[in-house]
Amino acid sequence: MHRFLSISSKSTSLKNQKQLHLPLVSSVSSATPKGQSCSHYFNQKSPSLGSRLGFDRFISSGYFPNRVNLRGHERNGNGFLRLKGLVGEIRNYSSETDRESIDYDVVIVGAGPAGLSAAIRFKQLCREKNADFSVCVVEKGAEVGAHILSGNVFEPRALNELLPQWKDEEAPINVPVSSDKFWFLTKDRAISLPSPFDNKGNYVISLSQLVRWMGVKAEELGVEIYPGFAASEILYDEDNNVVGIGTNDMGVAKDGSRKENFQRGVALKGRITLLAEGCRGSLSQKIMKEYKLREKVQAQHQTYALGIKEVWEIDEKKHKPGAVLHTLGWPLDSKTYGGSFLYHMKDRQISIGLVVALNYHSPFLNPYEEFQKLKHHPSIKSLLEGGSVLQYGARTLNEGGFQSVPYPVFPGGAIIGCSAGFLNVPKIKGSHTAMKSGMLAAEATFGVLHGGSNMEAYWDALRSSWVWEELHRARNYRPAFEYGLFPGIALSALEHYVLKGKSPFTFKHGKPDHEATNVAKLHSSIQYPKPDGVLSFDVPTSLHRSNTNHNHDQPAHLRLRDPDIPETVNLPEYAGPESRYCPARVYEYVPDEKNQLKLQINAQNCLHCKACDIKDPKQNIEWTVPEGGGGPGYSVM
């Protein structure tokens, strides 16, 4: 689904809107509160810019609960909601190197759990204090939730604080955890272990559905959400303070020339900018480096894992809504940290996946193929037989935890959610901590704009919150596995059951993930079985199920800092590991006319998992955003 515009009583897709060169703005906007100095707004009230241009914006979130307050809304023929009769301030548009500049009080990058929680909490405070500030959320996915694959065990603690009436408002959270199992797998057996996850009171949900619902809640409060726009650069003032972001140009050909439908990106200026890009956010990485945010608090490097996931529809007799299973062991070797998960959602659907820590040593290891092997384990195979795959996807996860959290405040804004790395590794949960971080950042932001305080209040509030307590208690779990699988199990059990997170020491992480890769001569190649087309599949088949799509005629968003390194270093020394760690076959070594292997980058396949940006041995690959709306298109489940 795309957002729709109404032009002269006719609807046209976002794609067509771009061809018409119309800037997309919301008819939901906010006035500057009395007494506040905000020179970038006009003083007089008038219809929104959208109305002045002759089109209205349709709600973009795509998920609509039955009991949502529809006063002032109407449905169009496509099932979307449209706001009626709303007016707001005229935005000040200025030309900045031939692109338009739109000013907001708060600009948020990323419409995931953290970004939407921040937007909602900020607007709640506006209502409580009778203040009126404008909030804009930009999302690179074609719609809210498009880049989030279904299947999540959700802890509702943060949501209880943010939207206490979520049950009455029919949030898509209705499958409570019914059982919680933990297995150690060998090749042929599943050995039951005590479950350390404590999922009582949690729910099995589609996170994609949840953020769509949260998008509706945010828009009801007056938040302007713009899917399909990729934030590609940070904007600074003359004092090196962040003043917003720039979105990607649209309609640029692969050779860099401007096509007929070229549209210049927009500068979105914000008094405060919050980065909620998710794991390994490209702008967040630049900000951390620019302001040395890790060094400021002596944070260790971040560590990562790659999660590969499928959503299946299985036989109703085998389906147990709310059943949760986690495993360790096979198919991974004892030196590779990782494990699988299997969650029974509603409507006969299950989410199954494998998480592989990216500090693995062998360049021959292929996480995608390890996942295909997993599904043939006798205990898993019996569940999947007779079922069918609905979706496929992949994403990296932050696993550094407490030790790796950077100083999250920079001049002009803050980093929130998984961009900063709040995943609780032993719980394998980060949505609730990401949401809480967004809420705390929103409160600090409101204090800056309304009370004259500073953003450092976010850092102080974070360290005083249950997020910090939770991460501190879990801090030794992940680095314990640096010593191998079985020492890791023993040490983590000691931490969890005996010391309960109160040990007097803090383990350090090992080498950064890219440095952990050994040269090929230290390992033997791995021969993986061919897919059977029933339980296991080749990459092209899986990619089709991800709905991944990029305009082929655009500059590659995967860039080589040195184009010679793949052929002079990666291939001869590491046997071309990028052809294996990528779960989408973006990187392939193919023979040229002289029969010499050359790296071919199939950027159109990219799932936006960021594994290449993390795992490349020489850090030669830079992941940047493609045109807005590109990437996976995970549908509502």
Strands across the sheet with 55-57, in order? 10-13, 4-7, 55-57
> Shortest CA distance to 332 belongs to which of 313, 305, 293?
305
Kindly report whether the peptide bond that precedes residue 529 is cis, defined as omega within 30 degrees of 0: no
SS3 336: coil
Contact by Cβ (8 Å): 397, 430: yes
Q: What token pair was written down for 305?
A: 């894992």
Q: What token pair was written down for 236?
A: 């600074």
**Confidence grade of residue 195 (pLDDT, cut at 50, 70, 90):** confident
Name the burial class of residue 262, with classes exposed (0-12), middle (13-18) and buried (19+) by CB atoms within 10 angstroms of its CB.
Answer: middle
* Residue 31 pLDDT > 60: no
Amino acid at 336: T
Q: What token pair was written down for 191?
A: 């050995």
Report the pLDDT averaged over residues 202-218: 96
SS3 120: helix
**Confidence grade of residue 97 (pLDDT, cut at 50, 70, 90):** low
Report the pLDDT averaged over residues 114-140: 97
**Confidence grade of residue 503 (pLDDT, cut at 50, 70, 90):** confident
Name the burial class of residue 40, with classes exposed (0-12), middle (13-18) and buried (19+) by CB atoms within 10 angstroms of its CB.
Answer: middle
Q: What's the mean per-residue pLDDT of the chain?
A: 86
CA pair distance 554, 552, nearest whole angstrom: 6
Name the burial class of residue 31, with classes exposed (0-12), middle (13-18) and buried (19+) by CB atoms within 10 angstroms of its CB.
Answer: middle
Range with the poorest average pLDDT among 31-45, 259-273, 416-430, 489-503: 31-45
Report the pLDDT averaged over residues 529-553: 96
Report the pLDDT averaged over residues 599-611: 96
Contact by Cβ (8 Å): 311, 150: yes
* Residue 504 pLDDT > 50: yes
Q: What token pair was written down for 608?
A: 């936006």
SS3 203: strand
Q: Which domains does the chain have, with CATH numbers?
A: 101-477 (3.50.50.60), 513-632 (3.30.70.20)
Buried b / exposed e along 529-548 (16+ C-beta atoms within 10 A)? eebeeebbbebeebbebbbb
**Confidence grade of residue 27 (pLDDT, cut at 50, 70, 90):** very low
Contact by Cβ (8 Å): 404, 512: no
> Shortest CA distance to 365 belongs to which of 209, 513, 466?
513
**In the prediction, which pLDDT does 53 show?**
27
> Shortest CA distance to 354 belongs to which of 344, 341, 366, 365?
341
* Residue 36 pLDDT > 60: no
Amino acid at 230: A
**In the prediction, which pLDDT does 96 show?**
52
Element (H, E) at 415: strand 413-415
Please report how many Cα atoms fall inside a 13 Å half-sphere around the Cα of residue 410, on the Cβ side. 31
Predicted confidence (pLDDT) per residue in 616-630, tens digit:
999 999 999 999 999
> Shortest CA distance to 442 belongs to which of 29, 137, 32?
137
CA pair distance 351, 146, nearest whole angstrom: 17
CA pair distance 441, 361, nearest whole angstrom: 38
Residue 51 Rama label (left phi>0; alpha psi -120 to 50; beta): alpha
| Between residues 610 and 66, the one the model is more confident about | 610
Predicted confidence (pLDDT) per residue in 547-588, tens digit:
999 998 999 999 999 999 999 999 999 999 999 999 999 999
Reported for 427-431, long-range contacts at CB under 8 A and 24+ positions apart, including other chains, are 427/155, 427/197, 427/198, 427/474, 428/153, 428/197, 428/326, 428/341, 428/355, 429/153, 429/154, 429/155, 430/397, 430/398, 431/113, 431/152, 431/154, 431/155, 431/158, 431/207
| Strand pairing category for 135-139 and 99-109 | parallel
Report the pLDDT averaged over residues 263-276: 96
Report the pLDDT averaged over residues 594-609: 95
Chain centroid to CA 591? 35
* Residue 431 pLDDT > 50: yes
SS3 459: helix
Contact by Cβ (8 Å): 513, 617: no
Q: What is the pTM of this model?
A: 0.86
Predicted confidence (pLDDT) per residue in 329-370, tens digit:
999 999 999 999 999 999 999 999 999 999 999 999 999 999
Predicted confidence (pLDDT) per residue in 291-323, tens digit:
999 999 999 999 999 999 999 999 999 999 999
Amino acid at 601: I
Contact by Cβ (8 Å): 86, 59: no
* Residue 125 pLDDT > 90: yes
| Between residues 20 and 318, the one the model is more confident about | 318
Polymer length of the chain: 637
| Cα separation values, 304 from 54, 301, 509, 511, 609, Å | 47, 10, 11, 12, 11
The 3-state secondary structure of 233-273 reads EEEECCCCCEEEEEECCEEECCCCCEEEEEECCCEEEEEEE
* Residue 48 pLDDT > 60: no
CA pair distance 456, 185, nearest whole angstrom: 46
**In the prediction, which pLDDT does 636 show?**
52
Contact by Cβ (8 Å): 422, 433: yes
Residues with Cβ within 8 Å of 229's Cβ and at least 6 positions away in sequence, in order, are 24, 138, 139, 140, 247, 248, 266, 628
| Between residues 620 and 485, the one the model is more confident about | 620
